[in-house]
A and B are shown apart, each in its own frame.
Chain A
């Protein structure tokens, strides 16, 4: 059924249909609408979850971990400082191989205090062992949330999944949403190492120097195996519901000489910039990175690359640009734009391509080259 919904409502709707047994959350702007909506589903009887209103995000993730280890489906949502407050526990969730699903509404980190979109919050979680997907429309927020449960709980993966949506520009954007009946698209959760009172086991025990690396490798092995699971899940989703997704969303890339790469809503607005550039005779295409972990194999042979980073690693560079440079062994034009909700239009995006200086870094809005 088609309706108008915000990105936050779309996530909550998908969660309702995925029926997690436990939802443990703490509100934080701009994610609060997800918490409120799920709380409303639970109190009105539309969702039979145990809703745990915890006192902090650290506790939210800890409660999800405790619930998940019993083998039940779990969900939480957060943003910015909330995500960073969870950090110890996000590592634990991945290390304990728990398929927790979390929506993170991307928001800048203070100080200075800021509630608007930026990706640095989620990218500070990139080495935790969580799968990360970045969405760009209300429909995609819904679709990706449904798929996240199936991917996380797949026994070849058993890693937590984070769905990322841009604060306000997507979380509060009202767009058409077509909901589906997921049916058996998300099979029942089966955690092979769930607590079983008939077979007592210890959890979180000491792993010595002869064992620890094996557990680390096991996370990486599953992360690599998740590529196939993501592909299969997206294919099955397209077959059942008619909407297809890839690791990246490519727009007019095939015959392009220069590719504009971004994540989130900039990656969608980039398509408008590409149409502008094409009219000017510039053979440009855009690539929206959807899955950041596992990071996709990119085919950029023979093309110039402009990367938009809505994030930064101080003393090094744009985080997405680093990933692309490391993988493709090439120089890019690295643009830092949109931090803390900085307004960036499709004209600006087109301008980044027009004025590209491969090998250099440019901070949008900062005078001159830095």
Chain B
């Protein structure tokens, strides 16, 4: 089972990203579950979502404690949340950042998803849309196939702008 924990702030699309990853995994012929941890959410507060992908039906409902991959959609949450908590030894971290973060013992990738979203005019209510760009990064990591990622994005969004942003992220991320 491959387990992903997504850190973001309320309104940034962390839950939608979790859903899109699950949809893409389903298109890959796998089983997937996605669940946000619900608290007293409000826009801007740190939030966590979980995705599980497996070749067999998933029976686990409790929160992910030892993720294989941590996605950080907003690097500012790292000052208030220990995003590495429980991350598997040798696990992977993907951070939406124009800077270069590194964590000893983990494979760290930095990609400027916000920059890509702003450049591609993916802005809703003043906030850059990060959930589709992050899919491009996941496709590059081989967690979901490129075709399934595009299919999932097209299912949820009727325009091609989101697919373009996903393609940009796929091109620009360095692993």
Contact = CB atoms under 8 A, between A and B. Distances in A.
Decide whether A and B are members of one complex: yes
Interface in A88-117: 115-116
B62 A346 contact: yes
Contacts of B135: none
Contacts of B26: 2-4, 176
Contact of B35 (A115, A174, A271): A174
B38 A172 contact: yes
Most buried by B among A30, A166, A346: A346
A269 interface: yes
Given A2-B26, A4-B23, A268 B34 contact: no
Interface string A1-30: 011100000000000000000000000001
A116 to B, nearest CB: 8
Nearest to A344: B62
Most buried by A among B61, B62, B63: B61
Nearest to B33: A175
A272 interface: yes
B92 interface: no
A86 B22 CA distance: 37
A222 interface: no
B62 A173 contact: no
Nearest to A275: B59
B119 interface: no
B18 interface: yes
A176 B32 contact: yes
A3 B38 CA distance: 23
Most buried by B among A166, A168, A174: A174
Contacts of A269: 59-62
B171 interface: no
B7 interface: no
Interface residues of B, number: 19
A3 B58 CA distance: 15
A169 B26 CA distance: 20
Contacts of B23: 3-4
Contacts of A175: 22, 32-33, 58
Interface in B101-150: none
A229 interface: no
Interface string A264-277: 01101101100000
A271 B32 CA distance: 18
B5 interface: no
Contacts of A115: 38
Determine chain A's interface SS by DSSP, over half rule: mixed
A41 to B, nearest CB: 19
A345 interface: yes
B51 to A, nearest CB: 9
A343 B59 CA distance: 15
Contact of A172 (B22, B35, B62, B63): B35
A36 to B, nearest CB: 16
Interface in A149-199: 166, 168-170, 172-176
A364 B61 CA distance: 18
B33 A173 contact: yes
A167 B18 CA distance: 19
Interface string A72-97: 00000000000000000000000000
Interface in B40-84: 58-63, 65
A172 to B, nearest CB: 6
B61 A4 contact: no
B38 A174 contact: no
Contacts of A272: 59-60
A4 B32 contact: yes
A175 B59 CA distance: 11
A159 to B, nearest CB: 30
Most buried by A among B19, B23, B31, B38: B38
A345 B62 contact: yes
A173 B22 contact: no
Nearest to B152: A4
Contact of B22 (A116, A174, A271, A343): A174
Contact of B38 (A2, A166, A168, A271): A168
Given A4-B32, A173-B35, A268 B61 contact: yes
Given A4-B22, A4-B23, A174-B19, A343 B63 contact: yes
Given A175-B32, A272-B60, 8 more contacts: A3-B26, A4-B19, A168-B35, A169-B35, A169-B61, A173-B35, A174-B18, A174-B34
23 contacts: A3-B26, A4-B23, A115-B38, A116-B38, A166-B61, A168-B38, A169-B35, A173-B33, A173-B34, A173-B61, A174-B18, A174-B22, A174-B32, A174-B34, A175-B33, A175-B58, A176-B26, A268-B59, A269-B61, A271-B59, A272-B59, A345-B63, A346-B60
Interface of B: 18-19, 22-23, 26, 31-36, 38, 58-63, 65
Nearest 4 CB-CB pairs, A to B? A174-B34, A345-B62, A265-B61, A173-B35
